[in-house]
Amino acid sequence: MAGTGTDTGRFTVGVSRDFLDPDGRNVWGDIRLGELDAAGVDWHYLPRDTDELLAPDIDGLDAVLFAAPAVTARTFEGVTRPPILLARFGVGYDAVDLDACTRHGALVTITPDGARRPVATAALTMLLAVLHNVAAKDRLVRQGRWAEREAWMGLGLTGRRIGLLGLGNTARDLVDLLRPFDTEIIAYDPYCPPETARELGVRLADADTVMAEADAVIVMCVLTEETFHLVDARRLSLMKPSAVLLNVARGPIVDERALIDALRDGRLRGAGLDVFETEPPAPDNPLLTMDHVVLSPHSLAWTDEMSAGNGGSAVRAVLDVASGRLPRFVVNRDVLGHAYLSERLGARAAVASSEDGQQEPAGVHP
């Protein structure tokens, strides 16, 4: 590991350039970067828009706040002074090599507190849109096919059985949003404590049972090796022909080819997808021409609420680290024993203590 340099100066943050349009305007609106200014933190947008962060992007920065770029082993090649923090704007981290970050003493955080309600609301929006055939009915009007409207009777949500693949924070928020509809909720999540499910009024079951019993299955788990193609041809074959499948998580959790086949063959009533195996989908993707499928370009939860929530959460992580504190939503917990991280956080804590006149213990602390 190269020398740590100095942590006695101002804290410096790079913000990934994918937040900006070609004219340099932040298309996400207010992501709370003003809070960095108020705290005296130096920040700037990275000089290039990139799909993968590399040494020229991050070397010498104390933290990076990023959304789209991947963080890989190559990210750290040639870096002399890695950032203490890589703060991801969002909850997914499938494009982040956590092992590489841990080896180089860099914390990785996500923003579940900021994304929780917007994504849950987006899931409910998609569910209602699919059940009510909103996309198909919109096309009937636009294409002068008014007389066909009786062919598109929808399904009411009240009293239906909803299946969740994943019962994390966002899915739990969706459970609350579904309460007025008197739905029965069944979920697959091997990591959810049974007592938590009981408190929510959710019945835990294996994935096959969820697929077979639910009127609507909603994918809300993270993408890992374990969940890749969790929804495959065999599990799709378990679903009722009257059921619908929604994916608001990550595209590769669903075997898209198998889903297309099931929809074509009439083995599913419909689907709603905010995500795809390949993004954007190819122009000849059959999903694009199916009337009983509702699609969104991985942005259904993109609202001012999402911008402020994710941005505020990421900025709080930055400000915590700038003060020598451990941020809340660290995903690579193994990094906490890394000597480089301990030294850098300790130095930041000492700076913060001297600036506010308080005696605060240095080092890694929650």
The active-site residue out of 235, 250, 344, 348 is 250
The active-site residue out of 145, 203, 292, 298 is 298
Q: What is the pLDDT of residue 50?
A: 97
pLDDT class of 68 with cuts at 50, 70, 90: very high
Mean pLDDT across 256-271: 98
Instruction: Please tell me whether residues 48 and 80 are part of one structural domain.
Output: yes
- Concerning whether 44 is annotated as a catalytic residue, the answer is no
Instruction: Please tell me whether residues 140 and 166 are part of one structural domain.
Output: yes
Domain count, the chain: 2
Any domain includes 364 = no
Taking the C-alpha atoms of residue 73 and residue 332, their distance in angstroms, rounded to an integer, is 15
Instruction: Please tell me whether residues 283 and 340 are part of one structural domain.
Output: no
Q: What is the pLDDT of residue 10?
A: 86
- Concerning whether 229 is annotated as a catalytic residue, the answer is no
Whole-prediction pTM value?
0.83
- Phi, psi dihedral angles at 86 (to 5 degrees): -120, 105
Any domain includes 25 = yes
Q: What is the pLDDT of residue 6?
A: 56
Instruction: Please tell me whether residues 123 and 204 are part of one structural domain.
Output: yes
- Phi, psi dihedral angles at 316 (to 5 degrees): -60, -40
Domain containing 47 equals 12-110+303-356
What pLDDT digit, counting tens, does each position of 12-51 carry? 999 999 999 999 999 999 999 999 999 999 999 999 999 9
pLDDT class of 365 with cuts at 50, 70, 90: very low
Mean pLDDT across 282-292: 97
Instruction: Please tell me whether residues 264 and 172 are part of one structural domain.
Output: yes
Give yes or no for residue 176 having a pLDDT over 70.
Answer: yes
Mean pLDDT across 262-282: 97
The active-site residue out of 77, 279, 333, 355 is 279
Instruction: Please tell me whether residues 163 and 280 are part of one structural domain.
Output: yes
Give yes or no for residue 361 having a pLDDT over 50.
Answer: no
The DSSP secondary structure of 50-93, one letter per residue, reads -SB--HHHHTT-SEEEESS-BB-GGGGTT-SS--SEEEESSS--
Instruction: Please tell me whether residues 289 and 211 are part of one structural domain.
Output: yes
Any domain includes 221 = yes
Average pLDDT, the chain: 94
Any domain includes 122 = yes
Instruction: Please tell me whether residues 266 and 170 are part of one structural domain.
Output: yes
Instruction: Please tell me whether residues 158 and 246 are part of one structural domain.
Output: yes
The CATH number of residue 40's host domain is 3.40.50.720
